[in-house]
Amino acid sequence: MLESEYRSLYESLKRYSDVQRLARETGLDEELLMVIYTQRVTRDATKRYYVVKKHVDQMSWRWRNGTPLIKLADQNGFPPVLIALMVLTSCGYTRKQIWAWIRNPDGLENKRLRREITEVAVNDHAYSPAGMERQYARGRWGEEKLQKWLDDQGIEYRTEKQLKGEFAKTPDCLLRNPIKLGNEQIFWIESKASYGDPVELRRNIHRQLVPYTQLFGPGIVVYWFGFADGATAPEGIYVRDAKFFEKPLPKS
């Protein structure tokens, strides 16, 4: 995808309803658009968290005087679950209590809280239990897809779970014997069920991929939902998308 196309989609995905609308209008895969929407929501929330939290006393006062949590979230353009956590902790409830309610609002005796917590959970597609489970499931799907590709070709590997505690950082699949990619040997493959735009790629390079090259040597990162044209990575890191894994590894 061209960077200009991606940027246009990114800027257009302001609300959850935009995911299905753009899927109809563009013919693009709805899950791809959901991935981009989630990345936008979480980045914006991280960037603006403390800006929004500065107004928590005012929001708490408004909530105590009848303004619903979902309305406060909408007015701030902020994830409803995060607004609920800010406001309700300010009102004396603990995060543990609030998360228990979000996971099971039916258990709440307070009718107003039960109604509003239900609204919050239903309308937050990034930070609600359902939203987070969708992201975890997407991640598991990507890892299983990678492992099937390796298994189908008889390539032996150890998973992140099998490597736990052995190294400071562990990729999703550490190959028992390196494979060839052109003239390069590949020692590991990392699965990302996300879209590799420049922000995502830079974050992954800094936190994970460069440390992998230092520990194990060159490797591949696969962005199952694609990556921006012209995406570059440091030496020893090769960026690929799903198409690379739709066929067997070329014979060297």
pLDDT in tens, 62-110: 999 999 999 999 999 999 999 999 999 999 999 999 999 999 999 899 9
Question: Would you state the pLDDT for residue 87?
Answer: 98
Total domains in the chain come to 2
Nearest partner of 247 among 171, 152, 165, 179, judged by Cα: 152
Range of the domain at 40: 3-129
Question: Would you state the pLDDT for residue 73?
Answer: 98
Nearest partner of 241 among 35, 43, 10, 13, judged by Cα: 35
Regarding whether 203 and 125 lie in a shared domain, the answer is: no
pTM confidence score: 0.90
70 neighbors 60 (Cβ within 8 angstroms): no
Regarding whether 161 and 93 lie in a shared domain, the answer is: no
pLDDT at 132 over 90: yes
Mean pLDDT calculated for residue range 150-171: 94
Could you tell me the pLDDT band of residue 252, with boundaries at 50, 70 and 90? low
- Tens of pLDDT, residue by residue over 39-67, are 999 999 999 999 999 999 999 999 999 99
Helix extents (H) in 124-224: 129-152, 160-163, 198-204, 210-216
CATH at 183 = 3.40.1350
